[in-house]
């Protein structure tokens, strides 16, 4: 049962792989962004797991508390979450603009449109 001690790290690895799979395997841009979100969240959990001590308290000086959790990873992750929010917002904004420009956010549909356009261009050049 030793592996249970690393339970949160197993969760991190599982989430990381799920998220990464979503980013790589899905053609829909919103699904790609969801995968990216899961991928980033797994890293947040990784950091927070490192800072937590079982039985540790919040890092505020109080009577009768001697064990504190490390607050620094939480603070770092607060920054990383803000960065993640900005990235997803930026990605969604781009997805909206792509939808306006192409009428779809599926990678393979866009690739077909691009191929058709390239064909027309090389014909007109000839």
Which residues form the interface with other proteins (CB under 8 A)? Answer: 20, 23, 29, 32, 36, 39-40, 43, 46-47, 50, 73, 76, 79-80, 83, 86-87, 90-91, 94-95, 97-98, 101-102, 110, 114, 125
Q: Closest separation between CB of residue 16 and other proteins, Å?
A: 8
CA–CA gap between residue 44 and residue 78 (Å, rounded)? 9
Contact 83, 116 (CB under 8 A): no
Show the CA angle centred on residue 77, arms to residues 71 and 78, nearest 5°. Answer: 90
Which value, in Å, is the radius of gyration of the alpha carbons in the chain? 22
Tally Cβ neighbours within 10 Å of residue 23: 17
User: In this complex, which beta carbon is closest to other proteins, that of residue 52 or of residue 65?
Assistant: 52
Q: Closest separation between CB of residue 36 and other proteins, Å?
A: 6
Q: Closest separation between CB of residue 13 and other proteins, Å?
A: 11
């Amino acid at each position: 049962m030793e592996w249970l001690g690393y339970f949160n790290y197993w969760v991190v690895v599982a989430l990381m792989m799920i998220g990464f799979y979503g980013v790589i395997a899905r053609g829909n841009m919103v699904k790609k962004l969801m995968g990216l979100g899961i991928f980033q969240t797994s890293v947040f959990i990784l950091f927070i797991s490192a800072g937590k001590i079982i039985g540790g308290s919040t890092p505020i000086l109080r009577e009768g508390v001697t064990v504190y959790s490390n607050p620094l990873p939480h603070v770092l992750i607060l920054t990383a979450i803000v960065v993640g929010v900005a990235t997803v917002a930026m990605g969604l904004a781009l997805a909206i603009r792509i939808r306006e420009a192409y009428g779809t956010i599926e990678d393979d549909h866009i690739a077909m449109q691009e191929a058709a356009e390239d064909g027309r261009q090389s014909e007109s050049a000839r």
